[in-house]
Amino acid sequence: MSSLNNKVAIITGSTSGIGECIARMLSHCGSRVVLNSVHSVDKGNQLASELKHSIYIQGNIGIEEDCQRIVNQTIKHFGQIDILVNIAGQSARVLGDVLDISNDLFSKTLDVNVVGTWCLIREAMPYLKKSGDGNIINITSCAGMDPASASSAIPYSVAKAAINHLTKFLAKHCGPEIRANAIAPGLIMTPRTENFDEAVDKFKTRTPLKRTGMPEDIAELAIAIIKSNYINGEIILADGGFSTS
């Protein structure tokens, strides 16, 4: 079992929801945490002051220079990178006909979610390899695995499916120094999803557990994956059994 004590973890999109919860749990387990967001600078700095041995770095993973800066500042401050949790991305819901999905919307969604995620992984990879116990966890979505859960978010779902596939390739090519896995959550109640009334009703009705998920459900799974050092190349669906309905 891998120890989390004194590990350095970058968590993108970590000033609220799943990312914040993962950051708090990793810090509680003794890890040094790098928080990140595009806009929530005040919240990021506040969290960094609350969590022991943590820093906040503003940056947009969709911009290559920002990915380089996030990694460089982490190395300058902590000297190592052991864990990379990729959460940051762009959602795109189209409430009209599928023909209303523009090329521009599709391209932007893929660029941030897929290319941005890859860019940060590429920049961090030499340090993750140097760690010898490197961990990449990509937070994707059940929508990238099950079209029934995709609703109106087709570009987002396709992007998450691509990251699932990327995770498999990373697991194949980055060992033995790095493990790569993904978590595909169902509907998790966060500030971003609190107004998704139709989706909430669907998950509460069709999910065997009769509830939506909470950020803690995903954070606990992320911690378990990092600790269990023979899990590699897995896309773990955490949707309360929605896919069985």
Tell me the residue length of the chain: 245
Task: Single out the catalytic residue among 56, 127, 156, 230.
Answer: 156
pLDDT by residue (tens digit) across 66-80?
Answer: 999 999 999 999 999
What is the predicted pLDDT for the residue at 16? 92
What is the predicted pLDDT for the residue at 30? 95
What is the predicted pLDDT for the residue at 68? 98
Neighbouring-strand partners of residue 85 = 11, 137
- Residue 181 phi/psi, 5-degree rounding, is -140, 165
- Sorted by sequence, the CB contacts under 8 Å of residue 94 that are 6+ apart come out as 100, 101, 105, 152, 153, 154, 155
Q: Which residue stretches of the chain have pLDDT < 70?
A: 1, 92-97, 148-152, 193-198
Fold of 8-236: Rossmann fold (3.40.50)
Q: Are 245 and 192 in contact (CB under 8 A)?
A: no
Q: How far is CA 208 from CA 113, 220, 225, in A?
A: 30, 20, 24
- Is 156 annotated as catalytic? yes
Neighbouring-strand partners of residue 228 = none
Q: Are 238 and 183 in contact (CB under 8 A)?
A: yes
CA distance 192 to 200: 12
pLDDT by residue (tens digit) across 10-61?
Answer: 999 999 999 999 999 999 999 999 999 999 999 999 999 999 999 999 999 9
